[in-house]
A and B are shown apart, each in its own frame.
Chain A
Amino acid sequence: MNSAMILEEDRPLLEVRGLNKYYGWHPGCLDVDFELWPGEVLCIVGESGSGKSTLLNCISGQTAPTSGQVVYRAPGYGELDVHQSRESVRRRLMRTDWGIVRQNPRDGLRMGVSAGANIGERLMAVGDRRYGRIREKALTWLERVEIDPGRVDDRPDTFSGGMQQRLQIARNLVSEPRLIFMDEPTGGLDVSVQARLLDLLRALVAQMGLAVVLVTHDLAVARLLAHRLMVMHRGRVVETGLTDQVLDDPQHAYTQLLVSSILQA
């Protein structure tokens, strides 16, 4: 999709080297190395408990890894070692250059304030103090995620699950980030709503040239969105490759099991 754009850049956006995370003696994820390029969509798939979310939390700076390094490269930040950097820098990164979309929109939204305030929060966090401008952007973004702009002053708890998830996406994208982390963004939505959300995500990712790290247990989601797949099993990455390649010709025994168990259903 964005192959031309990927080739133009000569350094990866995100580099993960030798990442380990232990919970006490219990391993969360082990020896993870990968690179993410600008505009690339990477899916992490695996069964429940395989360490997908642990990995996502580590690379998105929310959990400190036991060992290993996460390096983020972007204008304005240079080459940033995410876990060695100051907390203020990391938190600014999360509000501006990064977005985090959570499985449960209640964790990612402020349920007590209107949709407009939810979208405007990042703008206000970076110092926008003009109400008119914030509101205008909120309305534009509601439209971009296919929510009726007339609902800008309604609270998210009056929205359906699918709308809440789209609002969460708008709230993250308003700061025009380069990199988005998503943890099961379509979990808990019914199939038709899932399809609509995936369509929307695919369009936005292409328009904005977003890089995405997406965690899912749903291979169909991975097939639709991802350029590249990483298969995790018991904390380790057992297979990586282009999406179609991995799904059509799985090499590792676990991937073969995963693919056969889902595609034949």
Chain B
Amino acid sequence: MNNTPWGGPEGFTGSGYNFAYLDEQTKRMLRRTILKAVAVPGYQVPFASREMPMPYGWGTGGIQVTASLIGPKDVLKVIDQGSDDTTNAVSIRSFFARTTGVQTTERTCDATLIQTRHRIPEQPLREDQIMVYQVPIPEPLRWVEPRESETRKMHALQEYGAMHVKLYEDIAQHGEIATSFDYPVRVGGRYVASPSPLPKFDNPKMSGCPALQLFGAGREQRIYAIPPYTEVRSLDFEDYPFTVQSWKQSCALCGAEDSYLDEVIMDDAGKRMFVCSDTDYCRQRREQGYSGPMNGEGRDFLDRIQATEDSE
């Protein structure tokens, strides 16, 4: 018998908690916040963040957003560092599996709700999907201005020149804009927002994205949104335009040349390979028959590591 007032999928017997852990009033509060965030793209809407059964910094903001949106028919995917099988992703996925009974998946195309920490999936998103980002520091101006009262004024009056001071400093010190993650963007030509710890490689994917993108910062108690098909511009200089990372290699396992690659050290002698950070994308490509230069050897290596970790 399903003992939750809200109910779960058929056959779900409940966890003793309300559906999706949070009580219904909290979820309403979150949804109201989200509505406002969607109405004012890029604006950080304050909300009354709840204590969650996990530490700040582990995605308490993202989890609350997900909990307020998830319904019995949703299919949930959780990504951490592009991967579905790292600690954070596994525990958040099992948290929702236990408190909602919804179906979970590792396949981007099957998911209706995707909670992520560092990456946007390589596979293009659709209108019927929602991205939920876990954000540690939602304020892009924090680096240049420590006072919250002042950053709010700067947002209100669109005083975003100071943001370029950081980029200037990058070029002066490193010869290029060295900021490679959490690269500031301007949403819909109005608010400057932080894309959380995304690599700047993923910034272009946020612009004109058909899926709704929601950002939740639990400790800082802010939610902001990029509605579908909103223009998102990465800040830059005319003579130092925004560029994304590129690699000389292709993925060692699937041969992809268009994906974000992680470097994996394979032994003490400096042997290494570059593999897709989006594990789901990599697997799907291999299933389609694509293969990279180290497909066999590289996968054996990763399996061995996985086995060691599992046995520990």
Complex formed: what's the CA distance from A248 to B15 in Å?
Answer: 89
Which residues of A122-160 are within 8 A (CB) of B?
122, 124-127, 129-132, 134-135, 152-153
Q: Does A35 contact B (CB under 8 A)?
A: no
Is B157 within 8 A of A124, CB to CB?
no
Q: Does A117 contact B (CB under 8 A)?
A: yes
Q: Does A74 contact B (CB under 8 A)?
A: no
Complex formed: what's the CA distance from A245 to B237 in Å?
Answer: 53
Task: Give chain B residues whose Cβ lies under 8 Å from the Cβ of A127.
Answer: 161
Is B165 within 8 A of A121, CB to CB?
yes
Is B161 within 8 A of A126, CB to CB?
yes
Complex formed: what's the CA distance from A120 to B170 in Å?
Answer: 13
Q: Does B12 contact A (CB under 8 A)?
A: no
- Given A91-B157, A91-B159, CB of A129 within 8 Å of CB of B164: yes
Task: Give chain B residues whose Cβ lies under 8 Å from the Cβ of A124.
Answer: 161-162, 164-165, 168
Kindly report which residue of chain A lies nearest to residue B154, judged by CB atoms: A91
Is B157 within 8 A of A130, CB to CB?
no
A95, A114, A124, A126, most chain B CB atoms within 10 A:
A124
With both chains docked as a complex, state the minimum distance between the C-beta of A50 and any C-beta of chain B, in angstroms.
30
Residue of A110, A129, A132, A153 touching B165 (CB-CB under 8 A):
A110
Q: Does A79 contact B (CB under 8 A)?
A: no
Complex formed: what's the CA distance from A78 to B162 in Å?
Answer: 27
Kindly report which residue of chain A lies nearest to residue B171, judged by CB atoms: A131
- Which applies to chain B's interface (DSSP): helix, strand, loop or mixed? helix
Q: Does B307 contact A (CB under 8 A)?
A: no
Is B159 within 8 A of A131, CB to CB?
no
Residue of B157, B168, B238, B239 touching A117 (CB-CB under 8 A):
B168
Task: Give chain A residues whose Cβ lies under 8 Å from the Cβ of B238.
Answer: 129-131
Which residues of A80-97 are within 8 A (CB) of B?
87-88, 91, 95
Complex formed: what's the CA distance from A164 to B168 in Å?
Answer: 20
With both chains docked as a complex, state the minimum distance between the C-beta of B56 and any C-beta of chain A, in angstroms.
25
With both chains docked as a complex, state the minimum distance between the C-beta of B155 and any C-beta of chain A, in angstroms.
12
Which residues of A98-122 are within 8 A (CB) of B?
110, 113-114, 116-117, 120-122
> Interface size of A by Cβ–Cβ distance < 8 Å?
24
Q: Does B169 contact A (CB under 8 A)?
A: yes
Is A117 within 8 A of B161, CB to CB?
no
- Given A152-B172, A153-B172, CB of A120 within 8 Å of CB of B157: no
Is A130 within 8 A of B239, CB to CB?
yes
- Given A114-B172, A153-B173, CB of A120 within 8 Å of CB of B159: no
- Given A110-B144, A129-B164, A130-B239, CB of A117 within 8 Å of CB of B169: yes
Is B165 within 8 A of A117, CB to CB?
yes
Complex formed: what's the CA distance from A132 to B172 in Å?
Answer: 10
Which residues of B155-198 are within 8 A (CB) of A?
157, 159, 161-162, 164-166, 168-169, 171-173
Task: Give chain A residues whose Cβ lies under 8 Å from the Cβ of B301.
Answer: none
Is B237 within 8 A of A120, CB to CB?
no
A120, A131, A135, most chain B CB atoms within 10 A:
A131
Is B172 within 8 A of A117, CB to CB?
yes
Task: Give chain A residues whose Cβ lies under 8 Å from the Cβ of B159.
Answer: 91, 125
B165, B173, B236, most chain A CB atoms within 10 A:
B165
Task: Give chain B residues whose Cβ lies under 8 Å from the Cβ of A153.
Answer: 172-173
Is A125 within 8 A of B239, CB to CB?
no
Is B161 within 8 A of A121, CB to CB?
yes
Task: Give chain B residues whose Cβ lies under 8 Å from the Cβ of A87.
Answer: 153, 157
Complex formed: what's the CA distance from A135 to B167 in Å?
Answer: 13
B172, B238, B239, most chain A CB atoms within 10 A:
B172
Complex formed: what's the CA distance from A130 to B171 in Å?
Answer: 12
- Given A110-B144, A113-B169, A124-B168, CB of A132 within 8 Å of CB of B239: yes
Kindly report which residue of chain B lies nearest to residue A121, judged by CB atoms: B165
Kindly report which residue of chain A lies nearest to residue B145, judged by CB atoms: A110
Is B157 within 8 A of A114, CB to CB?
no
Complex formed: what's the CA distance from A201 to B169 in Å?
Answer: 28
- Given A130-B238, A131-B240, CB of A114 within 8 Å of CB of B161: no
Is A134 within 8 A of B161, CB to CB?
no
Task: Give chain A residues whose Cβ lies under 8 Å from the Cβ of B166.
Answer: 113
* 22 A-B pairs whose Cβ atoms sit less than 8 Å apart in the complex: A91-B153, A91-B159, A110-B144, A110-B165, A113-B165, A113-B168, A114-B172, A117-B165, A117-B172, A120-B165, A121-B162, A124-B161, A126-B161, A127-B161, A129-B237, A130-B239, A131-B168, A131-B171, A131-B237, A132-B239, A153-B172, A153-B173
- Other than the known A91-B153, A113-B169, what 9 A-B pairs have Cβ atoms closer than 8 Å? A87-B157, A88-B157, A110-B165, A113-B168, A117-B169, A120-B165, A124-B165, A129-B237, A129-B238
